[in-house]
Amino acid sequence: MEASAIFTIAHLRGLKAAMVCGVSGNLVTADVVYEEENKPLIKSWDDAIAISLDAIYRYETGSLESRL
Q: Is position 7 within any domain?
A: no
Query: In this predicted structure, what is the pLDDT of residue 68?
Result: 66
Q: Is position 51 within any domain?
A: yes
Q: What is the pLDDT of residues 13-55, one digit of tens each?
A: 999 888 888 777 777 887 776 677 778 888 888 999 999 999 8
- The total of structural domains in the chain comes to 1
Residues spanned by the domain of 31: 22-68
Query: In this predicted structure, what is the pLDDT of residue 42?
Result: 85
Query: In this predicted structure, what is the pLDDT of residue 33?
Result: 65
Q: DSSP letter at 26?
A: B
CB 37, CB 43: distance < 8 Å: no
Instruction: Report in angstroms the alpha-carbon separations of 68 from 18, 36, 40, 44.
Output: 19, 29, 19, 15
Q: Is position 60 within any domain?
A: yes
Residue 7, pLDDT > 90, answer yes
Q: Is position 68 within any domain?
A: yes
